[in-house]
């Protein structure tokens, strides 16, 4: 089920901060703390904060590991379906151009991203 979540301290919705929101929700920390974690890691890795390698490194430091979907039909499984099929646990789901947190069957985002196709996810 979709749950509106936007902890951007200025309430901005269209700023490309999905990785910050997803990491903050998954780790239970503030937007500013997640931003700092991602910014520090991106600086160390010499790339941008939304880079999957940066997100992976930050999440790995907090006990998450990444899984790719083995299916050949990459457009067949949506964020909504992933949330429904995972009623227990904390996940950060990647669609290729977006990341969103799923906790106990609910997906938390600043927009209803349930129709996005899931390509991979991080799980604790």
Q: What's the N-to-C CA distance of the chain in angstroms?
A: 20
Structural domain span for residue 65: 2-123
Contact 62, 90 (CB under 8 A): no
Give the tens place of pLDDT for each residue, 18-65.
999 999 999 999 999 999 999 999 999 999 999 999 999 999 999 999
Per the prediction, the chain carries an average pLDDT of 94
Contact 105, 96 (CB under 8 A): no
pLDDT score at 76: 80
If one counts the domains in the chain, the total is: 1
Mean pLDDT to the nearest integer, 99-106: 98
């Amino acid at each position: 089920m979709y749950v509106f979540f936007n902890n951007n301290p200025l309430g901005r919705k269209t700023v490309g901060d999905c990785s910050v929101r997803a990491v903050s929700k998954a780790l239970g920390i503030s937007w500013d703390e997640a931003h700092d974690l991602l910014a520090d890691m991106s600086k160390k890795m010499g790339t941008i904060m939304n880079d999957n390698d940066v997100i992976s490194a930050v999440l790995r430091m907090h006990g998450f590991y990444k899984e790719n979907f083995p299916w050949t039909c990459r457009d067949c499984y949506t964020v909504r379906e992933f949330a429904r099929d995972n009623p227990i646990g904390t996940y950060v789901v990647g669609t290729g151009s977006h990341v969103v947190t799923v906790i106990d069957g609910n997906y938390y985002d600043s927009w209803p991203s349930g129709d996005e196709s899931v390509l991979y996810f991080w799980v604790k």
